[in-house]
């Protein structure tokens, strides 16, 4: 999700709004939790450790869903935009970033989506993807993978 967001910013020259940055921060938190989990699990995985980190990462994805859902409701005009959102569309990010930084920087409004696909905005897609990731992570917490038995030889009793 972070790669997609940065790709939209870099290659499509779409400047993110304040709520877009908030959505990214939650993904950075989930990534940090994942790195810590990988480090700790490599030192000695326990079922309690796996369960705890899956729950924490799942909660991070639920928070992401809520932030993206709030952004979606702002875009649809159901909820008011926060005070930190600008009043209008920002200027697209150009290739000559140095010249753009010489003057005031226009920040896009949280209420006006810059991109849509099939009538859905980036915030709408992020809401759905965050929910799917939360469900998958909670599923992994409550249904851990079993031991890897693919390389084991069948026992003599099973062979008969």
Could you tell me if residue 125 is inside a domain? yes
Question: With 90 as the cut, is the pLDDT of residue 62 above it?
Answer: yes
Question: With 60 as the cut, is the pLDDT of residue 92 above it?
Answer: no
Could you tell me if residue 119 is inside a domain? yes
Could you tell me if residue 63 is inside a domain? yes
Could you tell me if residue 133 is inside a domain? yes
Distance CA 82, CA 88 (A): 13
Q: How many domains does the chain have?
A: 1
- Residues 138 and 58: beta-carbon distance below 8 Å: yes
Q: Which residue has the higher pLDDT, 14 or 122?
A: 122
- The residue range of the domain holding 67 is 47-78+112-144
pLDDT band per the 50, 70, 90 thresholds, residue 132: very high
* 144: three-class secondary structure by DSSP: coil
Around 38, how many Cα atoms within 13 Å sit in the side-chain half-sphere? 6
Vertex 75 angle, CA 8 and 31, to 5°: 45
Q: Which residue has the higher pLDDT, 130 or 153?
A: 130
- For the CA atoms of 67, 71, 74, 80, the dihedral, rounded to the nearest 10 degrees, stands at 40
Could you tell me if residue 59 is inside a domain? yes
Could you tell me if residue 8 is inside a domain? no
Could you tell me if residue 94 is inside a domain? no
CB atoms within 10 A of CB 148: 7
Could you tell me if residue 151 is inside a domain? no
N-term to C-term CA, the chain: 50
């Amino acid at each position: 999700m972070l790669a997609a967001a940065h790709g939209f910013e870099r290659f499509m020259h779409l400047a993110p709004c304040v709520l877009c940055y908030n959505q990214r921060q939650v993904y950075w938190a989930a990534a940090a939790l994942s790195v810590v989990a990988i480090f700790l699990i490599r030192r000695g995985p326990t079922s309690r450790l796996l369960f705890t980190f899956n729950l924490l990462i799942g909660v991070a994805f639920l928070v992401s869903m809520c932030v993206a859902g709030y952004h979606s409701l702002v875009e649809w005009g159901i909820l008011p935009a926060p005070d930190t959102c600008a009043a209008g569309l920002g200027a697209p990010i150009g290739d000559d970033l140095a010249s753009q930084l010489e003057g005031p920087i226009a920040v896009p409004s949280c209420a006006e989506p810059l991109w849509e696909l099939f009538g859905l905005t980036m915030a709408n897609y992020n809401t759905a993807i965050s929910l799917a990731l939360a469900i998958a992570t909670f599923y992994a917490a409550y249904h851990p993978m079993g031991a890897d038995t693919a390389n084991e030889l069948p026992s003599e009793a099973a062979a008969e």
